[in-house]
Amino acid sequence: MDWHPEHVPQFWRFVAERHAVFVRRIIRLEPPPWSEDQVLRSVAFTNIYRELDRGTRELLRRLPEQGKPENQLFNVAAFRSFGWPATYDALGGYLTPESWSSKRMFHRLEALRAQGVKIFTGAYMITGHGGGGGGGKLRTIITNLTWLAEHVSRVLDELADATNPVQAHRVLMQVPGWAGFNAFEIMIDCCYPEVDILPSSWLDEWAFCGPGAIRGLDLLLERRIRLPQVQPALMELRDSQYDQLAAAGATLLGPPLTLENLEQALCEYQKYVRFKEFGRAKRTYDPAKASTDLRLWDTIPQRFRNPKYWVHKG
């Protein structure tokens, strides 16, 4: 690949500094500001590691250990369909496909929406569901979850037959409402040990790149990337991360990035560049208003807390 001589080191410095913000705030419990980078101090970015994002922590804390695969998959789908913990809780908490009632669930959430209660996350778009906004989107999502409740055993059987992440992704794309990105997000959750449906090693074998990550790769390359180049480019970034971080003078206080981590980091990087160039951001960030309740991260894996697992030992 012909890499851009300015963007590549800037990308790795962004990766290292964005995660350093997490380390300073969550692990070392330092007071703000957590960065000298003015963009990182004023714009909201997801974590470099998806496992550390608030939404992922909210999901995993609601799932029991060694739950039945049918229940685990259905609850992952219910949570991610809205992306808003309070909505999932309003459905009644941990669900079973057998107990799902589309009529009851729709009326429960429609009543909340009519009262002005937030139903969907504002952090990212809930795509692939169609049905327009408001009640139309809500009804479509409820219908899609009803389909899954009726077919969850079949979906799990097909996932069990998958021999690689690409095949598993194709299986999940057959679920109504799960386009490429949505299916990939569900697949990632299924690879987490807390869900335990798919092998965790698949997080570093293949990644579905959404439009944001593609734009990030375009920035890092000298010429516009073509679709067949996406996976080789991701793998080259992953395999060269130690050397590239060193060349950029960046210190990553976390474990090596997987392909899945890189997909997320690339999406966030293009937002970072866009703000630096145009000063526009969908979500701003005020450290003074950041929550001081950090209990969500009490149970993060040791590879994020123990320097012996980090690229740089801190």
- The pLDDT tens digits of the residues spanning 143-177 come to 999 999 999 999 999 999 999 999 999 999 999 99
User: How many other C-beta atoms lie within 10 A of the C-beta of residue 157?
Assistant: 10
φ, ψ (nearest 5 deg) of residue 143:
-60, -40
| Global model pTM greater than 0.95 | no
Q: For 94-131, how does the pLDDT look when each residue is reduced to its tens digit (9 = 90+)? A: 999 999 999 999 999 999 999 999 999 765 544 444 44
- Which residue is listed with tokens 């996976």? 231
Q: For 18-72, how does the pLDDT look when each residue is reduced to its tens digit (9 = 90+)? A: 999 999 999 999 999 999 999 999 999 999 999 999 999 999 999 998 899 999 9
Under 8 Å between Cβ of 195 and 219:
no
> How far is CA 13 from each of CA 7, 70, 250, rounded to the nearest angstrom?
10, 41, 5
User: How many other C-beta atoms lie within 10 A of the C-beta of residue 118?
Assistant: 12
Query: How far does CA 89 lie from the centroid of its chain?
Result: 20
Copy the structure tokens of residue 94.
């941990």
Query: What is the maximum span of the chain, computed from C-alpha positions, in angstroms?
Result: 57
